[in-house]
Chain A
Amino acid sequence: MNAETTTNAVHCSAIRKSFGSGETRTEVLRGIDFTASRGEMTFLVGPSGCGKTTLISIIAGLLTADEGHVSLFGEDLSALSPREQILFRRRNLGFVFQQYNLLPSLTAAENAAVPLLAAGMNRKTAVARASEMLDQLGLGHRVSAMPRVLSGGQQQRVALARALVHEPRLIVCDEPTAALDHKSGESVMNLLATSAVHPDRAVLVVTHDNRVFHFAHQIAHMDDGVITHVEQQALNSRLQSSPS
C-alpha cells in the first residue's frame, strides 16, 4: 500500500498480545481490528486494564504484537528494523503523556525542542522553533521557565508543543487530562483539537475521562482486550477556537 495515498493513518488487524508464560500468561489483546483516519481525533476508551495502553504501545512501535498486523500511513512497522522503527517514530509520531514526562533540567522551550534536537537540528534553531510553537499554544511568556514552576496545565501544553513541533503525522496521547483539573483538561483538549488535528494528521487519545469525549470524531470502546464498538460523532460545538 502506498504510504502517501492511504486514507487510514492507523490500521490494525487481528492484533493479539499476551504477557507472561505458562499459568501466568495473560492475553491482553485478543484480536483487535482498528482504524484511525487522517484529519480526525480518535479516542480509545475503556476501563483500566482493558488493553488500551498496550494497543497504543503496539501502534507506536514500542511493543511488538504476538500476532496481527499494524501499519501507520501504509508503512508496515514489522517490516522495519529496530533502528528504522526508531527513526520512523521520530519523524512521524508525537507523544503526550499523562505525567507530561518533561525533562526537569530543561526549560519549556528546550523540552519542546527535544524531537528537533534528536533529529539533529541546530540547537538555536530548534529552540527558536519550539518557542514559536509554545507561543502558538499560549505559553510564549514561559519559554524560559523550568517545568517545576509551571502548573500542570502549562506542563501539558509544553508536552503538546513537544508533540507537535516536528510536525508528526500521528499524535499519540495517553490520558492527557488525567492529572489535570476539569478546566485545565478542557483547555488542553481544546488546544489538541485546534492545533493537532490536521488533514494529514491523526490524533489518537487514550482516556477514560468521559468529560472530554465530546472532542472525539471517533470513539473506540475497549473491554477485556477487544474493541466492543466504535462510535462516530460530529465535532462538538463546545470546541473553542483559541487556547485559554
Chain B
Amino acid sequence: MIPIAISMLRHDGPKFMALVLAVALAAFLTQNQASILSAFLGMTGSQIRDVREANLWVMEPDTECFDQAKPLKQTAVQTIRGFSGIEWAVPVVKVDTNARTEAGKLSTVTLLGVPEDSRVGEPRMKLGDASAIYRRDGAVIDPGGFSLLFPGQTFKSGMKVRIHDEWLTLHGISDAAPPFTGFPVMHVSQTTAMRLNRAEARATTFVVGRMLPNADQQAITAAIRRETGWKAMTRTEFENASYDYYAAQGVPNLFYITIAIGFVVGIAFTGQTFLMFVKENARAFTTLKVLGVTHGQLGRMMAAQAGLVVFMGLGIGTALAVGVTEAAKLMPFLRALYIPWEVALACGGVIAAVTFLAAGFAFNKVLKLQPADVFRS
C-alpha cells in the first residue's frame, strides 16, 4: 500500500509542493539561524583558540570573558611562572582602541600584542609575513577587519592605519578567527601594544601559560586562584566562560525566536496542508477503508507520505541552508559560519518529528471517516 500512498500524495501536486516547501522553509530557517547562533557564540572563543600554545589563562577576578577584561600588573607574569607545574608563562596584551585609515575610515579595533621573545600567539597568515609585526610600526590585520577599514580595496603591503598619533603599517592579512565583537583584529608586537595602551601602559591583560604535560591542571588553576585571588582557567574553561557570558546577554533569544518561528511555521503549514490533503482525498481514503484497508495500513500509508515530505523538504531546506552558509562565508566577517552536524541533526530530527506529528493529526481525521459515507454521491 505504500506505493499507493506515495502516488496519492504526488498526484496532488499543489499540496505535495506546499508540504515539501513548508518543511524546506522550516528546515532552512532553523538550520540557518541555529548555525548562525552557534557560529556567533563560537566566535566568543576565537582569540582564546588563536593562542594555540597556551593551555592556561590567568586574569583579574572581575574578568568574565575575553572581550571584557580588566588588566593585571606586569609582575603577574613572574608570579605565575613561580607556580609548580608551569612550563612557561607570558603576558598577552589586548587593547581596544580607535583606528583611522588615511582615507578617514574610523573603527574600533582590537590590538593583540605578541611577546617578541616567545612569540606566543603569533598569528597564522593568509597573506604576508607575521614577523613584520615585530617592527616598531608593524602590524597585520584579519580579513574581516581589512574589509571594514578598507572597503572594496585590495590589500597592498604598506597600507597605513593611525592609532592615537602613530601610524602603523600593515604588512599582511592574518588568519585570525573572526571575533564576536566584529571589530578588526590587529596583531602587533607586545611593545607596540603596550605603547599604544596609554591608559594602562604597564599592565598586561592576561597571563597565558603552558602547564607541564601530565600535570594536574585543575590543581594548578585552583592553587593560582587560592594564592593570588586571580582567576585561573584552562583554555577550555575560559572559552566556555566567554561563551556563557555572551549566551546570557539576551542576543541568543532573538535567534531562539526565529528558530521557534521556523518550527511553528513547519507544524502549522504541514499540519494544515496534511489536513486539507485528507479532506480533499476523503473519498479515496473512505473507499480504501471500505475495500478492507486496515487502520494500521492507513497509518503506515500516511507515515510513508510524511516520510517522503520529510526526505524531500529536509533535503531542499538543508541544501538551501548550506548554500546560503557557503555564500555568506565569502564575506570576511562571516567566514567562521558553518552548520555544525549536531545542529543539522537536531533540526532534522525535530522537523521530522513535527511533520510526523502533523501527519498524525491528519491521520486522526482519516480514522474518523465513516465508511458508510462512501455511498453518498
Contacts and interface: CB of A to CB of B under 8 A. Distances in A.
Interface string A88-117: 011101010111010111100010001101
Contacts of A99: 283, 377
Contact of B292 (A57, A86, A98): A86
Question: Of residues A98, A101, A106, A110, which shows the largest number of chain B Cβ atoms within 10 Å of its Cβ?
Answer: A101
B291 interface: yes
Interface stretch (B2-10, B75-83, B84-92, B114-122): B2-10
A118 B372 contact: no
B3 A103 contact: no
A62 B292 contact: no
B292 A123 contact: no
Contacts of B1: 117-118
A90 B290 CA distance: 8
B293 interface: yes
Contacts, number: 78
Contacts of B377: 98-99
Contacts of B370: 62
A84 to B, nearest CB: 11
Contacts of B372: 54, 57, 62-63
B296 to A, nearest CB: 9
B253 to A, nearest CB: 45
A104 B283 CA distance: 11
Contacts of B4: 103, 105-106, 110, 114, 117
B291 A103 contact: no
Given A62-B372, A101-B283, A174-B375, A90 B291 contact: yes
A68 to B, nearest CB: 16
Contact of A103 (B287, B292, B294, B374): B287
A172 to B, nearest CB: 9
Nearest to B10: A105
In the complex, the 8 A-B pairs of residues with the closest C-beta atoms, listed nearest first: A90-B292, A105-B11, A62-B372, A105-B7, A57-B372, A62-B371, A101-B287, A53-B375
Contacts of B7: 103, 105-106, 110
Contact of A91 (B10, B288, B292): B292
Question: Of residues A62, A91, A99, which shows the largest number of chain B Cβ atoms within 10 Å of its Cβ?
Answer: A62
A162 B1 CA distance: 15
A115 B297 CA distance: 12
B284 interface: yes
B374 A114 contact: no
A60 B290 contact: yes
A203 B185 CA distance: 87
A145 interface: no
A95 B8 contact: no
Given A89-B290, A118-B297, A119-B292, A105 B375 contact: no
B129 to A, nearest CB: 67
B113 to A, nearest CB: 70
A175 to B, nearest CB: 8
A63 to B, nearest CB: 5
A98 B12 CA distance: 23
A62 B292 CA distance: 11
Given A90-B293, A118-B293, 19 more contacts: A54-B372, A83-B294, A89-B291, A90-B292, A93-B292, A97-B374, A97-B375, A98-B377, A99-B377, A101-B284, A101-B374, A103-B4, A103-B284, A104-B11, A104-B284, A105-B4, A114-B293, A117-B4, A123-B3
Contacts of B3: 123
Q: How large is the interface on B (under 10, 10 to 19, 20 to 34, 35 or more residues)?
A: 20 to 34
Question: Of residues A56, A57, A110, which shows the largest number of chain B Cβ atoms within 10 Å of its Cβ?
Answer: A57
Interface residues of A, number: 32
Contacts of A57: 372, 375
B375 A114 contact: no
B238 to A, nearest CB: 60
A87 interface: yes
Contacts of B287: 97, 101, 103
A89 B297 CA distance: 15
A101 B282 CA distance: 11
B294 A115 contact: no
Contacts of A119: 292
Contacts of A123: 3
A16 to B, nearest CB: 16
B290 A62 contact: yes
Nearest to B12: A105
Interface in A172-221: 174
Contacts of B289: 86
A87 B289 CA distance: 11
Interface string B358-377: 00000000000011101101
A60 B371 CA distance: 10
Contacts of B375: 53, 56-57, 97-98, 174
Nearest to B284: A103
Nearest to A123: B3
Contacts of B374: 62, 95, 97, 101
Interface string B291-307: 11110010000000000
A164 B294 CA distance: 20
B59 to A, nearest CB: 67
Question: Of residues B1, B3, B287, B371, which shows the largest number of chain A Cβ atoms within 10 Å of its Cβ?
Answer: B287
A87 B8 contact: no
